[in-house]
């Protein structure tokens, strides 16, 4: 209550406000830390990156900036490797996000039942999320090793040919996606679980009375009830997939994203331009294109969700 | 209402803590791993290197610290030179985290000379103007700027030979006599022919050599003009050196002679012990690398013979002192000592890094290495070094070399047609270069 009453104070009368300016300013003080930090570590880098992206800046001679206008951008759109990275970001994004969210939904549904050791299972689901990207990727890179990896060893055991999980396009993309899926499934499952627990039990009861099976309950009660949660996870996963970086970088330990750049994502392409080839201006241009891409994707998502809400009631 | 408030307090506290930690990390990252003074005139010198220089392994640091009790040497090391170079550039741009002594690969020297000469100490100012005088002439010339600055001190050079596994050769019915082998593979064609003989009899999964990239780099390294010509013009797409090496390396793949291992990766490292390949293009410094990877168990299994063309130059390094070094004087003394004739001799005897010092070259002529079946490595590499061309170094040599070896990886691992992969290599160079 304290919050709402202080927020209404100014409306109550100008004289009271003038007497207590500290109280009027207090809310700004409370939100200031975030905005000060955001300005220093969010807004300033964003704008400075835009400035850099209009210049030729090389890491090796970073004190020199030559004005280029939009040349970094036009060059970017002419670069087949940029389009390759965009395509990879999309395919790896789909390969990781779709199974991840579907599995999370299924797991959350199971965890929503009364199970023995439910709390333990819920905590266990969060473990991959708590693991660092580097540690997880290094372990997976070993598992996916071509000559000495556990997965190829198992494939050999059941009489299949070994797969080159690094050089082959699809195999390597699946390899990278597996790491992402492994890390984020549990996290999304817990979010879904929270959403599910907010769905009133009576809905299930009346559905059961009407003779709906478990599957029908899931489809017609759980899914509609979870819609806002699903939209949220889709938006967050899409942003995550667009920025995917650590997993493909450490998968083979180089910024090229494989010998044919077959799993080089946009994030990795940016990094390669900036820190392998030392073209900071071009890297900044990539960063801005990525930023705009995410804004567009998020906007699209929101628009779709809003339309469905209106039509779906 | 109470729980609501409590939660808000936690959030505020939490965000304050987060803000504080962000600020702390932001401030902390600048200082990095520079050297530190401690009381009593003691000095800690930091040395940052790539690959295996062998200073530590051959006991040179210990010896130096014994004779200089006030000095402590701390070395950090990155195995892959590509990653090392990347980190070095980041630190140079940020101006922090640089060691007192930084290693520099010969393929990067031209770039440093042209773009970053002002970031490294001119060794003349530290009394080391003549540090490269006793080295083979081109070694010193490569780190001298047009206005006479000396930016680095030469350590080793990379004369080439072929390392081979005697046990696998015997199993496949091939001779193991060095002279006989050297005669059989006096040309790269001879090397491929012998490889086909080996492949016909060897067990499945035991390839002739580790990778097309290794052979390519060795063969390119035999020519004077590789990626750019004397005038600094890029010629990588037309130079005979690159074309011939590319043709031979793709023939190697077509004949199924490659183990398809990307060099400097964990899979490649493991293969040194498991024996997935029978031969390896061996610049002298590879001796130390093999010993490090194959360990004591590999002793006696490996041998060395003069390679195709009997010469070549792959790699070799310099020691530099960045402008930001905390103890340039002490660092200069150490650099001078490490690159002196006596120490270069020790390094070759123990580690195989071939000396650039002519005095040391004379001293190691009769060295044999028990690890490699007492192969006369002194004689083999001396002969290779004597015929070695003074290579023309370009600013983008490192990047261009990587583009071609990556493309060869495509040929051997994804069945990409050699012509397509060649085009990929040229595209990759274009993508990396400044134009």
Note whether B96 and B30 are within 8 A (CB).
yes
Task: Name chain A contacts of B266, Cβ cutoff 8 Å.
Answer: 142, 145
Closest B-chain CA to A253 = B265
Answer whether residue B29 is part of any domain.
Answer: no
Q: What's the angle, vertex CA B202, arms to CA B198 and CA B208, rounded to 5?
A: 50
Domains: count for chain B: 2
Interface confidence, given as ipTM, is 0.78
pLDDT, tens digit, for every residue of A225-266? 999 899 899 989 999 999 999 999 999 888 889 989 999 999
In a domain, B192, yes or no: yes
Establish if B2 belongs to a structural domain: no
Q: Residues of B with CB below 8 A from A34's CB? A: 15
Contact A82, A290 (CB under 8 A): no
- Let me know whether B177 and B47 are in one domain: no
User: How far is Cα B73 from Cα B45, in angstroms, rounded to an integer?
Assistant: 5
- Report if residue B5 sits inside a domain: no
Average pLDDT over residues A212-218: 88
Please give the structure tokens belonging to residue A70: 């939009």
Contact state of B115 with A58 under an 8 Å Cβ cutoff:
yes
Of A37, A61, A259, the CB nearest to B410: A259
Q: Does residue B407 sit in the same domain as residue B273?
A: yes
> What's the Cα-to-Cα distance from A194 to each of A124, A189, B201, rounded to whole Å?
16, 9, 64
With an 8 Å Cβ cutoff, is A29 touching chain B? no
Distance (Å, whole) CA B285 – CA B384: 13
Partners of B193 in beta bridges:
none
Separation between Cα atoms, residue B64 and residue B334, nearest integer Å: 8
Q: CB–CB of A236/A217 below 8 Å?
A: no
Give the helix, strand, coil percentages of chain B, each rounded to 5: 50, 15, 35
Q: What's the pLDDT at B302?
A: 95
For residue B434, what pLDDT is reported? 60
One digit per residue, pLDDT tens: chain B, 435 residues? 333 333 433 433 444 444 444 444 333 333 334 444 444 589 999 999 998 899 999 999 999 999 999 999 999 999 888 889 999 999 998 888 999 999 999 999 999 999 899 999 999 999 999 999 999 999 999 999 999 999 999 999 999 999 999 999 999 999 999 999 999 999 999 999 999 999 999 988 899 999 999 999 999 999 999 999 998 899 999 999 999 999 999 999 999 999 999 998 888 999 998 889 999 999 999 998 999 899 999 999 999 999 999 999 999 999 999 999 999 999 999 999 999 999 999 999 999 999 999 999 999 999 999 999 999 999 999 999 999 999 999 988 988 999 999 999 999 999 999 999 999 999 999 888 765
Q: Are residues B191 and B340 in the same domain?
A: no
Q: Are residues B302 and B333 in the same domain?
A: no
| Same domain flag for B192 and B290 | yes
On whether both B173 and B107 belong to a single domain, the answer is no
Closest approach of A311 to chain B, Cα-based (Å): 36
Quick one: B61 and B81 in the same domain?
yes
Closest-CA residue of chain B to A271: B86
User: Do B263 and B397 share a domain, yes or no?
Assistant: yes
Q: What is the pLDDT confidence band of residue A312, given thresholds at 50, 70 and 90? A: low
- Quick check: A2 contacting B, CB < 8 Å? yes
In this complex, is the C-beta atom of A63 within 8 Å of any C-beta atom belonging to chain B? Answer: no
Last residue of a domain, one of B346, B363, B380: B363
Give buried/exposed letters for B97-118 (b at 16+ CB in 10 A, else e): bbbbbbbbbbbbbbbbbebbee
> Alpha helices, DSSP H only, in A53-163?
71-78, 80-111, 118-130, 133-143, 150-157
pLDDT for residue B40: 57
Does B260 share its domain with B280?
yes
The architecture (CATH level 2) of A75-312 comes to: Orthogonal Bundle (1.10)
3-class SS shares of chain A: helix, strand, coil, % to 5: 75, 0, 20
User: Domain range for residue B341?
Assistant: 37-155+316-363
Q: At what angle do helices A280-312 and A71-78 cross, to 10 degrees?
A: 70
**Quick check: B332 and B176 in contact, CB under 8 A?**
no
Which residue matches tokens 């061996």? B282
B173 assigned to some structural domain: yes
Q: How many residues does chain A have?
A: 313
The verdict on residue B72 lying in a domain is yes
Is the pLDDT higher at B22 or at A299? A299
Q: How far is B124 from chain A (nearest CA, A)?
A: 23
Is the Cβ pair B424, A60 closer than 8 Å? Answer: no
Distance from CA of B381 to the nearest CA of A (A): 33
Average pLDDT, chain A: 88
Based on the fold, state whether residues B292 and B344 are members of the same structural domain. no
A2–B267 C-beta distance less than 8 A: no
Contact A34 B116 (CB under 8 A): no
CA distance A85 to B351: 42
Closest Cα in chain A, distance from residue B426 (Å): 13
The CATH number of the domain where B108 resides is what? 3.40.190.10
CA dihedral A189→A195→A200→A204, nearest 10 degrees, is: -40
Q: Encode pLDDT of A55-111 as tens digits.
A: 999 988 888 899 999 999 999 999 999 999 999 999 999 999 999 999 999 999 888
Same domain for B112 and B181, yes or no, is no
Domain ranges of chain A: 2-52, 75-312
Q: Which residues of B touch A278 (CB under 8 A)?
A: 89
Assigned domain for B27 exists: no
Which residues of A fall within a CB distance of 8 Å from B93? Answer: 59-60, 62
State whether B410 and A252 contact (CB < 8 Å): no
Residues B267 and B173 placed together within one structural domain of the fold: yes
């Amino acid at each position: 209550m304290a919050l709402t009453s202080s927020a209404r104070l100014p409306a109550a009368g100008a004289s009271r406000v003038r007497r207590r300016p500290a109280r009027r300013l207090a809310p700004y003080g409370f939100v200031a830390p975030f905005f000060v930090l955001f300005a220093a570590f969010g807004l300033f880098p964003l704008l400075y990156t835009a400035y850099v992206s209009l210049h030729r800046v090389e890491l090796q001679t970073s004190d020199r900036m030559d004005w280029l206008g939009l040349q970094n951008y036009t060059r970017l759109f002419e670069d087949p490797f940029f389009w390759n990275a965009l395509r990879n970001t999309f395919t790896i994004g789909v390969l990781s996000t779709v199974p991840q969210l579907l599995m999370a939904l299924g797991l959350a549904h199971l965890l929503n039942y009364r199970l023995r050791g439910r709390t333990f299972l819920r905590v266990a689901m969060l473990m991959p999320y708590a693991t660092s990207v580097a540690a997880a990727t290094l372990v997976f890179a070993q598992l996916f090793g071509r000559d000495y990896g556990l997965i190829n060893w198992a494939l050999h055991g059941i009489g299949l040919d070994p797969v080159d999980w690094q050089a082959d396009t699809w195999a390597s993309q699946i390899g990278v996606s597996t790491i992402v899926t492994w890390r984020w499934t549990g996290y999304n499952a817990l979010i879904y679980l929270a959403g599910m627990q907010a769905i009133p039990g009576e809905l299930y009861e009346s559905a059961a009375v009407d003779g709906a099976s478990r599957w029908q309950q899931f489809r017609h009660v759980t899914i509609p009830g979870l819609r806002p949660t699903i939209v949220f996870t889709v938006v967050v996963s899409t942003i995550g997939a667009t920025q995917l970086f650590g997993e493909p970088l450490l998968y083979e330990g180089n910024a090229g994203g494989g010998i044919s750049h077959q799993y080089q994502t946009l994030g990795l392409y940016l990094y390669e331009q900036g820190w392998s080839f030392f073209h900071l201006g071009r890297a900044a241009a990539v960063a801005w294109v990525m930023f705009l891409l995410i804004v567009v994707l998020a906007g699209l998502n929101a628009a779709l969700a809003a339309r469905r809400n209106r039509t779906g009631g | 209402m109470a729980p609501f408030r409590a939660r808000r307090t936690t959030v505020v506290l939490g965000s304050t803590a987060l803000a504080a930690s962000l600020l702390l990390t932001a401030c902390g990252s600048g200082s990095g791993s520079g050297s530190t003074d401690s009381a009593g005139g003691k000095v800690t010198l930091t040395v940052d290197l790539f690959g295996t220089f062998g200073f530590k392994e051959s006991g040179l640091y210990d010896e130096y610290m014994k004779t200089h009790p006030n000095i402590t040497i701390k070395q950090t090391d990155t195995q892959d030179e590509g990653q090392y170079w990347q980190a070095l550039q980041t630190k140079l741009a940020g101006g922090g985290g640089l060691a007192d002594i930084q290693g520099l690969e010969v393929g990067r020297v031209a770039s440093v000379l042209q773009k970053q000469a002002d970031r490294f100490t001119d060794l003349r100012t530290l009394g080391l103007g003549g540090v490269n005088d006793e080295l083979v002439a081109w070694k010193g010339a490569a780190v001298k700027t047009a206005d006479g600055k000396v930016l680095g001190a030469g350590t080793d050079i990379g004369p080439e030979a072929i390392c081979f596994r005697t046990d696998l050769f015997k199993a496949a019915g091939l001779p193991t006599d060095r002279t006989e082998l050297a005669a059989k593979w006096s040309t790269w064609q001879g090397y491929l022919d012998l490889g086909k003989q080996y492949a016909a009899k060897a067990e499945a999964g035991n390839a002739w050599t580790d990778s097309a990239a290794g052979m390519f780099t060795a063969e390119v390294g035999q020519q004077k003009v590789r990626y750019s010509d004397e005038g600094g013009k890029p010629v990588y797409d037309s130079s005979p050196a690159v074309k011939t090496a590319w043709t031979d390396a793709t023939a190697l793949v077509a004949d199924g002679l490659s183990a398809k291992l990307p060099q400097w990766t964990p899979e490649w490292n493991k293969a040194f012990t498991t024996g997935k390949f029978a031969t390896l293009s061996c610049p002298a410094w590879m001796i130390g690398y093999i010993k490090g990877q194959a360990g004591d168990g590999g002793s006696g299994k490996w041998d060395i013979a003069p390679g195709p063309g009997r010469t070549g130059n792959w790699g070799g390094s310099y020691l530099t002192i960045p402008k930001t070094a905390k103890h340039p004087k002490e660092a200069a003394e150490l650099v001078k000592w490490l690159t002196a004739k006596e120490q270069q001799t020790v390094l070759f005897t123990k580690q195989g890094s071939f000396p650039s010092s002519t005095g040391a070259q004379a001293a190691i002529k009769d060295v044999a290495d028990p690890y490699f079946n007492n192969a006369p490595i002194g004689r083999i590499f001396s002969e290779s070094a004597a015929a070695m061309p003074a290579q023309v170094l370009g600013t983008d040599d490192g990047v261009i070399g990587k583009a071609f070896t990556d493309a060869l990886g495509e040929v051997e691992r994804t069945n990409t047609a050699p012509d397509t992969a060649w085009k990929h290599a040229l595209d990759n160079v274009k993508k990396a270069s400044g134009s």
